[in-house]
Each structure stands twice: as C-alpha cells, then as structure tokens.
Amino acid sequence: MTTAAKTSESGDAGGAVHEARTGQRFPLQLPITISADRSPRKHRATTTNVSAAGLYVQAENALKVGSKITFEIVLPRQVLGTARDVKIRCAGRVVRAESNRRVPRAKASARETLRGMACVIDQYRFVRNSTE
C-alpha cells in the first residue's frame, strides 16, 4: 500500500493539519445505501471517490463523525475489466463530515442539499451471489 501525506496550513486554527491517505483513490460515482450501526434507517448516497481503505460520499442525510456504518458497493465490470460486477459488503465508520453543499438534482430543476462524508472501511468481504 502507498501512503501519501499532505500538510496544509489552516487559517482558522493557525496550525498545520497533517492528512495521511493510504492507497490510490479512484474517481467513481456509484450509488450506495449506507446504514448506521444499530439503525434500520437506510441513507442513499453516491461515491465521489473510492480506495481500498475508504471512500468519500455525498448523501442526503449526514451521519455523525464516529458513526459505525455498513454498506454494499457494486464495482462495475467495465471499470474492473472483469466478466461480472463485483459486490463488496463493507463495515466502517464516518471520519469526516463536510458542511452542506448545494448540488443540482438529477431529474428536477429544484436544488437539493447533499452532505459530504469521508468514511474508512474497517472490514469488507466479497459477496459471491445475490442470496448472501
């Protein structure tokens, strides 16, 4: 795995912020459904980038930083160069939540608020068939 470190100055705090990212990020916009641990509620989201260690999503509803989450992600066969799509069941947590950002809705002229969240993947397993 590759680790890339980025340091930036923060004007508000006056100190340096160190950010360490592990692995290469892929700019993939994939629909997913996130569930907060111990909650039956499902949150629709779209990935903006994905890596082996985590993902960044835009969701209709924000989850709190530290929330444990589960989700499934389907990686398209065209992107992977495989015969079939690959479904992965993941467990992780929200590590960062961005302020609200206005983005256009896909099917309407009205605007919808989506919230950005960075999530770490703690565990994952490949789902071999649709009955799992």
Find the mean pLDDT for residues 57-71: 91
Examine the pLDDT at 123 and tell me if it is beyond 70.
yes
Going by pLDDT thresholds of 50, 70 and 90, the confidence category of residue 111 is low
Find the mean pLDDT for residues 84-112: 75
**Radius of gyration (Cα) for the chain, nearest Å?**
16
Going by pLDDT thresholds of 50, 70 and 90, the confidence category of residue 21 is low
Nearest CA among 10, 35, 8, 33 for reference residue 19: 8
Examine the pLDDT at 121 and tell me if it is beyond 60.
yes
Examine the pLDDT at 14 and tell me if it is beyond 70.
no
Judge contact between 62 and 43, C-beta under 8 A. Answer: no
pTM given for the model: 0.72
Domain boundaries in the chain?
25-127
Examine the pLDDT at 39 and tell me if it is beyond 80.
yes
Could you count the other beta carbons within 10 Å of the beta carbon of residue 61?
15
Nearest CA among 64, 63, 29, 66 for reference residue 43: 63
CATH second-level architecture of 25-127? Beta Barrel (2.40)
